[in-house]
Amino acid sequence: MRAARVFFAIMALGLAVCAAEPAKAAGPSGVVLTVKQLDQKTQKDLTARIKKARADNPVVFQRVAKVASQVPELDKRRRGPFATITLSLKRLGPDALMPMLEMLAVKGPARGDMTSTAWTTLRVGLIEAVGIQRDGVAEPVLTKILETDSDYWVVRAAAEALGRIGTDSAAAKLVSLAEKPNQRRMAVLSAIGNARRPVVAQALSKIVASATDRRTTRLTIQALGDVGNTWAWKTPALSKTGEGGSVRSTAAKALIDTFVRLYGDKELRVELQKSILLVDDPATPGLIEAAKSGASPELAQALDALRQKFEKSPLHKY
């Protein structure tokens, strides 16, 4: 739901943002990178893996290419701002990873007469489908995309995909980009909640405390809700890491502190309530009570209302 809100908010600014692309170095070209943009070790490793994958399962390369070839027609029939091929690529399974990485960074179809929306559909769909596989082999490619591309939706998809991979280095890269006030920051903030690591929760806590504009504040509040999402932390992949308690408590404290500062802003107060309920940290009632110490009557009333919402949250049933 939050991704959808961000999606349509950015679309309101115009599709010109989506069409921006950095200049590419000479050499074989994928739809986002050229192979020469990758370091030599990654080039060698990726080329070898693609060669082996093609020998082992040439059919999956054809299937990925078929999905890509359908983009122009899907674009014509789209009902929203963009069509999507992510689920079609996901259905091809783990063997589709190498053909997708090849298309992204080594050799992909030329844009030709594709519309800007079709081109975005192709590039974002490939990145999202790569991220769903959570395979560390893709990390160097995704990192390079984050470092070099300027298209909002491409950067956002790469940040989300890197967050799903979730290694220490992936989390560090996302934190680094989220902390810098540049053109990629908003795209990264809108997706960094998928990187559910303590270092990310800590960084978001600092960002929301120092944010001076509403957009950064709102995106960071939403990211704190995502990073501490109680549902996500109940999944086997995340629960086994043992980091859920730390991440959720860090997110909850940052959200309550922000609530105390910004409760008078109706829009941000709603976002804060949503994120606090989504994190559903056991320490939340205690944090709320502590915040009432020395609070104004208006703040105390707002905190009481927040506690009531928290206690009535359906998440407590699970």
Return the exposure string of 68-82: e unless at least 16 CB atoms fall within 10 Å of the residue's CB, then b: beebbebbeeeeebb
Residues 6+ apart with CB under 8 A from 235: none
Task: Compute how many other C-beta atoms are within 10 angstroms of the C-beta atom of residue 123.
Answer: 27
Q: Coil, strand or helix: which one is 34?
A: strand
Q: 317: which 2 tokens?
A: 């049933």
Tell me the C-alpha to C-alpha distance, in Å, between residue 69 and each of 1, 62, 133: 29, 10, 22
Residue 34 pairs with which residues in a beta bridge? 29
Q: Three-class SS of residue 42?
A: helix
Which pLDDT score, from 0 to 100, does residue 182 have?
Answer: 83
What are the two backbone dihedrals, phi and then psi, of residue 113, each rounded to the nearest 5 degrees? Answer: -100, 20
Please check whether residue 97 is in contact with residue 137, taking contact to mean a CB–CB distance below 8 angstroms.
yes
pTM over 0.85: yes
The three-class DSSP label of residue 164 is helix
Q: Strand pairing partners for 277?
A: none
The predicted pLDDT at position 318 comes to 60
The topology (CATH level 3) of 1-195 is Leucine-rich Repeat Variant (1.25.10)
pLDDT in tens, the chain (318 residues): 444 444 444 444 443 334 444 444 445 699 999 999 999 999 999 999 999 999 999 999 999 999 999 999 999 999 999 999 999 999 999 999 999 999 999 999 999 999 999 999 999 999 999 999 999 999 999 999 999 999 999 999 999 999 999 999 999 999 999 999 888 999 999 999 999 999 999 999 999 999 999 999 999 999 999 999 999 999 999 999 999 999 999 999 999 999 999 999 999 999 999 999 999 999 999 999 999 999 999 999 999 999 999 999 988 666
Residue 223 and residue 200: Cα distance in Å, rounded?
Answer: 10
pLDDT for res 28: 66
Q: What 3-state DSSP class applies to 29?
A: strand
Contacts for 85 with CB less than 8 Å, ≥ 6 apart: 67, 68, 70, 71, 74, 121, 122, 125, 126, 129
Q: Are 146 and 162 in contact (CB under 8 A)?
A: yes
Asked whether the CA dihedral 184, 187, 191, 193 is positive or negative, the reply is: positive
- Can you tell me whether residue 241 is helix, strand or coil? coil
Beta bridge partners of 29: 34
Distances (CA, A) of 60 to 40, 63, 163: 26, 5, 26
Domain boundaries, the chain: 1-195, 196-318
Nearest partner of 86 among 50, 53, 132, 117, judged by Cα: 132
Four-residue CA torsion sign, 75, 78, 83, 87: negative
Q: What DSSP character marks residue 234?
A: G
Residue 44 tokens read as 């060698």
How far is residue 44 CA from its own chain's centroid? Answer: 28
- Identity (one letter) of the amino acid at 36? K
- CB-based contact 116:88 (threshold 8 Å): no
Residue 170: the pLDDT is 98
